[in-house]
Amino acid sequence: MAAKKTTTKKATTRKATTRKSAATEPDASKTAAKKQPTKKAGSATKKLSALDAAAKVLGEATEPMASKEMIEAMATKGYWTSPGGKTPHATLYAAIIREIRTKGDHARFVKTDRRRFALKTA
């Protein structure tokens, strides 16, 4: 009689538990990312967003500015620098237009002329 090859129940369950425990172990790269410190809102090291920096620059300006002028002023004063984008002025322009459209009367910015913005006065 030919001997049949059989697997024991013990071997199959051992493999299953090994696979299960490997799948449930947390990935080291994922846990390291979760443990990184977060910046708090009141922290002195918190960077301004491009829109917040633009509002600050426009608040210091005496006349309306174009988005390219705002980007240059923000970089010169150290409020905000582009993280490597090719057209940060276009991104800023779109963000300002979006804020004006979505917030309406509550927007911080007002479009004064073609490509020019100022802070909204109360």
Res 6: pLDDT = 60
Res 85: pLDDT = 94
pLDDT digits (tens, 9 = 90+) for 69-87: 999 999 999 999 999 999 9
pTM (predicted TM-score) = 0.63
Res 46: pLDDT = 83
Res 112: pLDDT = 97
What secondary structure, in 3-state letters, does the chain show? CCCCCCCCHHHHHHHHHHHHHHHHCCCHHHHHHHCCCCCCCCCCCCCCCHHHHHHHHHHHCCCCEEHHHHHHHHHHHCCCCCCCCCCHHHHHHHHHHHHHHHHHHHCCEEEEECCEEEECCC
Res 74: pLDDT = 97
Instruction: Name residues of the chain where pLDDT drops below 70.
Output: 1-45
